[in-house]
Every structure is written in C-alpha cells, then in structure tokens.
Amino acid sequence: MKKIRLGVNIDHVATVRNARGEKYPSPLTAAILAQKYGADSVTIHLREDRRHINDGDLYSIISKLKIPLNLEIAATNEMLKIALKHTPPFICIVPEKRKEITTEGGLNLNFKKNFLKKLIYKLKKNKSRVSLFIEPKISDIKLAKLLKADCIEIHTGKFCKLVNEKKSFKNELNKIKKAVSFGNKIGLEVHAGHGLTYKSAKILSNTKGIREFNIGHFLIGESIFIGLAKTIKQFKKIIR
C-alpha cells in the first residue's frame, strides 16, 4: 500500500462552463461527485482573473464539501483576505502570471520572502494547512521550511512533459526523488502535481515519501470519455 492521497483538481470543469458563459457543467457537482467516487480532497485555483473557478464556486463548494478543500492562491493581499474569510482546510500558494496557460513553474520564494512569511503565519493561525508549490530544488525546500510551511508541493510539469514526449526523464525523476527525500528529512509533508497522467503518476508513485498528488487537466479530460468515477478509480489504483 503506497497510501498516496488523491486530490482532484476540478478547475477545468469551470473552464468548459465559462467557454459558453452558461451555468453548466457545474464545478460544485464535479466536487461532490469527486468526493463520492473516492477523491481524498478537491483542489480549486481561484485565479486573480477568475478565468475558471470564481468566488461563487468557492463559496458553494466550501459550504457543501465534506472532504478537505485545497484552495490554490497567489501570494496577494486579495487572496489572503479571501482565504482568511473562508478558511479552507488546505491552502497551496502558487505563482501566477496573467498570460500563462497554466501554472508554469514553482514559486520564487526569495521574491516576496517577507510577505510569504506573513501570509503563511496568518493562514496557519487561521487553521489552514499551508503548502508551497515549488520546483524540485533543495535550496527552495530549505527556504520553505524556514518560512514555516507545513507542506511543499513539487512541480512535476517538466518530468511529465518528458514522459509524454517519450524522452529521457531520468535526470528530472532523480531531482524529484532527491527533493522528496530531503523534504521528508527536514519534516515537511511532500506532495506532487502538475501535468500528471496515468503513466507519469504510476512512475512517480514509486517514489517513497510523496503523500499527496493533485491532478486536474488529464483527469478531467479522461473523464469525458470514461466518466469521473472510472477515472478516479483508475488513478487510485495506480497511486495506492
């Protein structure tokens, strides 16, 4: 039993809804169904431009969900205020650029170090578990610990792309393995996410010390063909 938890990211249900400006498909329904079909948590990213999930989604999902909600936010005062108001059990701080298609890399922890420290302190005091989305870099992991984060989420985007393109992924996998091992050694809970498919999740699930995967784009895409229930079941089979 590897016992890796599965966080299901449902942002792209909102992307489909927003493409037509309608009320469907409903992210709330997706969250409730993900819970029913065995997700351990539900992840949503409230972006500054609200391009997928919006404030109404956050409110309805956090009011109805029984499993933990993992709210991804940028390190801004606006997001801090929202997170303090709603108190999601899990928070993951992510970098955000307006023009990016998706979260392209990990946080630059040095950039807003003092603000991040304050943010983490306030969120933890408000009883949220705080994670930092970072690259598999030892210096960043040390800094995450200094900033007093509870967890780190390793950005797996580069590794997953190499797997998808059938290129050599050994170096990138080794970086992730070292990062996971170091994170555990200094007392951080280690998660992983971004770009994961059945194949990349299967390879990564053999890395000892990863406690949680957060998976969205591939999972929602696959569920168009075989349904959310079967997709979640398949991922759980792979990562457990």
Residue positions annotated with a catalytic role: 45, 72, 194
CB of 159 to ligand PXP, least distance (A): 12
Q: In angstroms, what is the minimal distance from the CB of 153 to ligand PXP?
A: 5
**Residue partners of 124: CB distance under 8 A and separation at least 6:** 130, 148, 150
Contacts of 146 (CB under 8 A, 6+ apart): none
Specify the residue, 35 or 43, whose C-beta has the smaller distance to ligand PXP. 43
Nearer to ligand PXP, 32 or 222 (CB): 222
Count CB-CB contacts under 10 A for residue 225.
8
Which residues would be at the binding site for ligand PXP (CB under 6 A)?
Answer: 9, 11, 45, 72, 92, 94, 102-103, 133, 153, 193-196, 214-218
Tell me whether strands 90-93 and 41-45 are parallel, antiparallel or unpaired.
unpaired
Q: Of 65 and 106, which CB lies nearer to ligand PXP in the complex structure?
A: 106
Nearer to ligand PXP, 46 or 143 (CB): 46
Give the Cβ contact number of residue 39 at 10 Å: 27
Q: Give the Cα separation of 47 and 195 in Å (integer).
A: 18
Nearest distance from C-beta of residue 156 to ligand PXP, angstroms: 8
Instruction: Select 1 or 155, whichever has its Cβ closest to ligand PXP.
Output: 155
Long-range contacts of 84-88 (CB under 8 A, 24+ apart): 84/122, 84/123, 84/126, 86/58, 86/59, 86/62, 87/126, 87/127, 87/128, 88/62, 88/128
In the complex, least distance from residue 191 CB atom to ligand PXP, rounded to whole angstroms:
8
Query: Cβ neighbours of residue 220 under 8 Å, at least 6 residues apart?
Result: 9, 10, 12, 13, 30
**Least spacing, CB of residue 47 vs ligand PXP, in Å:** 9
Distance of CA 40 to the CA centre of its chain: 12
CB-CB neighbours of 61 under 10 Å? 23
